[in-house]
A and B are shown apart, each in its own frame.
Chain A
Amino acid sequence: AQSVTQLGSHVSVSEGALVLLRCNYSSSVPPYLFWYVQYPNQGLQLLLKYTTGATLVKGINGFEAEFKKSETSFHLTKPSAHMSDAAEYFCVGGGNKLTFGTGTQLKVEL
């Protein structure tokens, strides 16, 4: 069965610090991987995606993620956190039917 695992349901960082949200996927997940962000009471917004080609993908708001097939990982990073980054982040894998991770709530503290 396909699975996407996000390590850490809650992550807290200081403003200006590195953001690292971890995601691992099962090898049965097709190599389409996405990160979505959800602000309270809103839909999900696509941050970035990996389909083919360069394994380091850049997204909106300064986020990037690296596809590492050998580690079956697709971790999301941002060099410097901003207060506006506080939201829930979902790692997602698959093709026509997506498999969602359970989400990581990011808190940014002053």
Chain B
Amino acid sequence: SQTIHQWPATLVQPVGSPLSLECTVEGTSNPNLYWYRQAAGRGLQLLFYSVGIGQISSEVPQNLSASRPQDRQFILSSKKLLLSDSGFYLCAWSAGGGYGYTFGSGTRLTVV
């Protein structure tokens, strides 16, 4: 069966520090991969998605970036965090079409 792992679960980082969140999928190949952010009291905002290794599409211009160094690995990064980067970050994968998404358990990021 397919599983998705996301870590860390919680993270407190100072303003200006770098960020690296990792997401891996097991049990499938060539998944579509996604990073979402959920700010307090707001819906989900799609940040990045990838349909293959090295293929990244950005939905919202910001100081975050994403990379897909391997087929089932998706990394969210920042060189310098801002206070506004605080939120709940969710990774998801999909086989496409009507299969829907399977979400990771999320990372609660607090920038202080």
Contacts and interface: CB of A to CB of B under 8 A. Distances in A.
Given A42-B105, A43-B103, A101-B43, A95 B90 contact: no
Interface in A69-92: 90, 92
Interface of B is mostly: strand
User: Number of contact residues on B: which range applies?
Assistant: 20 to 34
A52 B97 CA distance: 12
Nearest to A6: B43
Interface string A1-44: 00000000000000000000000000000001010100001111
A90 B42 CA distance: 11
Interface residues of A, number: 22
B102 to A, nearest CB: 7
Interface of B: 6, 32, 42-44, 46, 49, 51, 88, 90, 92, 94, 96-98, 100-106, 108
Query: Chain A at the B interface: mostly helix, strand, loop or mixed?
Result: loop
Contacts of B105: 42-43
A100 B102 contact: no
